Amino acid sequence: MSYQNLKYITMTIHLITFAAPLQKQSSPRNTHEAILSEIEKYYTIKFVDGQDINKLSDDDFKILFIATGGVERMVIQHFEQLPRPAILLADGMQNSLASALEISAWLRTHGIKSEILHGELPAIILRIHALYNNFRAQRALNGKRIGVIGTPSPWLIASNVDYLLSKRRWGIEYVDIPLDNVYDHFRKITDEEVGASCAAVASQALACREGTPEDIIKAMRLYRALRQVCKEEKLDALTLSCFKVLEQIDTTGYLALSLLNDEGIVAGCEGDLQSVFTLLAAKAITGKDGFMGNPSMVTARTNEIVLSHCTIGLKQTDRYILRSHYESEKGIAIQGLLPTGDVTIVKCGGECLDEYYLSTGTLTENTNYINMCRTQVRVRMDTPVDYFLKNPLGNHHILIQGNHANALNDFFQSNCCKRME
Note whether 133 and 196 are same-domain residues. Answer: no
State the CATH number of the domain containing residue 319: 3.20.14
DSSP-derived secondary structure for 2-65: -TGGGGG---EEEEEEE--GGGTTS-HHHHTHHHHHHHHTTSEEEEEEGGGGGGS-TTS-EEEE
Note whether 194 and 337 are same-domain residues. Answer: yes
Q: How far is CA 128 from CA 310, 405, 416, in A?
A: 40, 18, 19
* pLDDT at residue 154 greater than cutoff 70: no
Note whether 173 and 61 are same-domain residues. Answer: no
- Enclosing H/E stretch for 194: helix 191-204
Out of 93, 125, 141, a domain closes at 141
Dihedral angle sign, alpha carbons of residues 303, 351, 412, 345: positive
Out of 141, 166, 197, a domain closes at 141
* pLDDT at residue 117 greater than cutoff 80: yes
CA 384, distance to chain mean position in Å, is 23
Note whether 79 and 155 are same-domain residues. Answer: no
State the CATH number of the domain containing residue 52: 3.40.50.10940
> pLDDT value at position 246?
82
Out of 141, 169, 200, a domain closes at 141
Note whether 131 and 150 are same-domain residues. Answer: no
Q: Mean of the per-residue pLDDT values for the chain?
A: 92
* pLDDT at residue 365 greater than cutoff 90: yes
DSSP state of 271: T
Q: What pLDDT digit, counting tens, does each position of 168-225 carry?
A: 999 999 999 999 999 999 999 999 999 999 999 999 999 999 889 999 999 999 999 9
Contact 394, 159 (CB under 8 A): yes
> pLDDT value at position 244?
86
| Region 394-403 average pLDDT | 96
Q: What is the CA radius of gyration of the chain?
A: 25
Note whether 62 and 152 are same-domain residues. Answer: no
Note whether 185 and 260 are same-domain residues. Answer: yes
The strands making up 207-208's β-sheet, listed across from edge to edge, are: 207-208, 319-323, 333-337
> pLDDT value at position 229?
97
Range of the domain at 343: 145-420
Between 85-99, 145-159, 247-261, 335-349, the lowest mean confidence (pLDDT) is in 145-159
**Phi (first) and psi of residue 215, to 5 degrees:** -65, -40
Q: What pLDDT digit, counting tens, does each position of 27-56 carry?
A: 777 788 889 999 999 999 999 999 999 999
| Tally of domains within the chain | 2
Long-range contacts of 22-30 (CB under 8 A, 24+ apart): 22/70, 23/67, 23/68, 23/70, 23/94, 28/65, 28/67, 28/68
Between 23-27, 98-102, 313-317, 379-383, the lowest mean confidence (pLDDT) is in 23-27
CA distance 114 to 131: 11
Q: What pLDDT digit, counting tens, does each position of 268-287 carry?
A: 988 899 999 999 999 999 99
User: pTM to 2 decimals?
Assistant: 0.91
| Region 78-87 average pLDDT | 92
Note whether 159 and 277 are same-domain residues. Answer: yes
> pLDDT value at position 285?
96
| Region 12-22 average pLDDT | 90
Note whether 295 and 402 are same-domain residues. Answer: yes
* pLDDT at residue 8 greater than cutoff 50: no
* pLDDT at residue 335 greater than cutoff 90: yes
Note whether 137 and 149 are same-domain residues. Answer: no
CA distance 77 to 322: 61
Note whether 207 and 69 are same-domain residues. Answer: no
* pLDDT at residue 11 greater than cutoff 90: no
